[in-house]
Structure 1
Amino acid sequence: MDPWELRKRQFLSKLEGDLKKGKLDEDILGVLNLINSLKCYYTTSSCSGRIELTVAKWPGDKFGMKVVGKWHREVEVREVEKYLNDAYEDLWLLVQPPIIHVVSSGLIQADRLIKLARASGFKHSGIQSLREDRIVLEIMGSERMEVPLIVGGRLLVNESRLKELVEVANFILRKGKEKLRKLSSSLREYGGRLCD
C-alpha cells in the first residue's frame, strides 16, 4: 500500500473512532463522507460550526481562553443566561463558522475543491500548507460573531439584549449550516469530476 493510501486509512479509522465516541458533529458527517469517498482527498479535522461562551480578556487569546459553554446547535436564552450569574471577570459570546481540513493528493485537485467550496459559500477557503506528498486545505465559512457579555466583572447586557444576541447567534449558526448543506449538494453533483 502506498503512503497516501496508508495515511488516508489512518485518518478514516480515526474518524470512525471519533464517531463512535460521540466526538464528531453529526451534522457534518455527510459532507465528510462525500469528501472521503473521493480517491484524491481525505479529511483530518472538522467542526460544523458552534456557539461558545468563553472566559478571556479578548476572543482571540488562545492561551488565556477557557471555553465554559459550547453547542453545535442553536441555543436558548436560558442556556446562556445561567453563565451570567457566575463570577467571571470577562465572558464572550462567540459563533464559530464551519471548518473542514482536507488533504489533497495534488495541486489541481486542491484547486478544484477550493473552487467548489467557495462556490458553495465558503469564501475563506484555501491552501493551508504544501508538502511534496500532500496539500492541506482549509474549507471555512465566514459566519462568526464575537460579543462581550461581561468585561472587567461588569455585565454589559440586560435580558432583552441577551435575547437579541442569542437570536443573532442562532441565525449566524444556521447560515453556516446551510452552507454545509450546499457544499454537500455540490459534492454529490460534481464530486466525481474533482479527482480526474
Structure 2
Amino acid sequence: MFRQEPIIMHIVAYDLEHAKGILEFSVKNGLKHSGIIALSNERCIVEINGNERMSVPLVYDNKLLIEKKDMPQYLSSIIDIANKNFEKNEKRREKFSEEILKI
C-alpha cells in the first residue's frame, strides 16, 4: 500500500471561546475534519486534519496490481501526486499558521 497522510495539527487554546474560534476558522478554510479533542479547566486542545491524502494498493492477494515492467512509471506518477498533495498541505499549514495568530 502506498499512502500519503494529511497534515495533523494540535493547538492548545487559551479557553473554550478561543478553541471555538480556531475550529470555526479551520472549517471555514476547508479543514472540515477538525474538532475539540480535549477540554479541561486548564486548556482546550483543537485537532485539525488536512484533506489531502491518498491510499493506493500496489498488491492484492499477494499479486502486483501493475505489471512489473510498468511499476517504475506508475510509482513515479503516484509519487508526483503525493508530492503535490504534500505541497498543498504545506501551503495550507503556512497560511493557517499566519492567520491563526490573528484570532
TMscore range, shorter length:
0.7 to 0.9
Letter matched to residue 145 of structure 1: M
- TM-score by length of structure 1 reads 0.45
CA contact (8 A) 2:22 2:100 kept: no
RCO higher in 1 or 2 (8 Å CA, sep ≥ 6)? 2
5+ long unaligned stretches in structure 1 = 1-91
The answer on 1:93 being equivalent to 2:6 is: no
Q: Which residue of 2 aligns with 1:131?
A: 40
Question: Which whole-Å CA distance do the structure 2 matches of 1:122 and 1:175 have between them?
Answer: 12
Match for residue 103 of structure 1 among 12, 34, 50: 12
Q: Could you say which residue in structure 2 is the equivalent of 1:113? A: 22
The answer to whether structure 1 residue 166 and structure 2 residue 75 are counterparts is no
The total of aligned residue pairs comes to 99
Q: Is the CA contact 1:121–1:179 (under 8 Å) kept in the aligned structure 2? A: no
State percent identity of aligned pairs.
31
TM-score normalised over the length of structure 2 = 0.80
Secondary structure, in 3 states, of the residue corresponding to 2:32? coil
Note the alpha carbon deviations across 1:20-57, whole angstroms, 9 max, x for none: xxxxxxxxxxxxxxxxxxxxxxxxxxxxxxxxxxxxxx
Q: Which residue in the other structure is 1:185 paired with?
A: 98
Distance 1:178 1:149, change over 3 A: same
Structure 2 gaps, min length 5: none
1:130 positional shift: 2.2
RMSD, matched Cα: 1.8
CA distance change for structure 1 residues 184 and 135 in 2, over 3 Å: closer, same or farther? Answer: closer
Alignment of structure 1 residues 1-196 onto 2, 5 Å: 92-157=1-66, 158-188=71-101, 190=102, 194=103
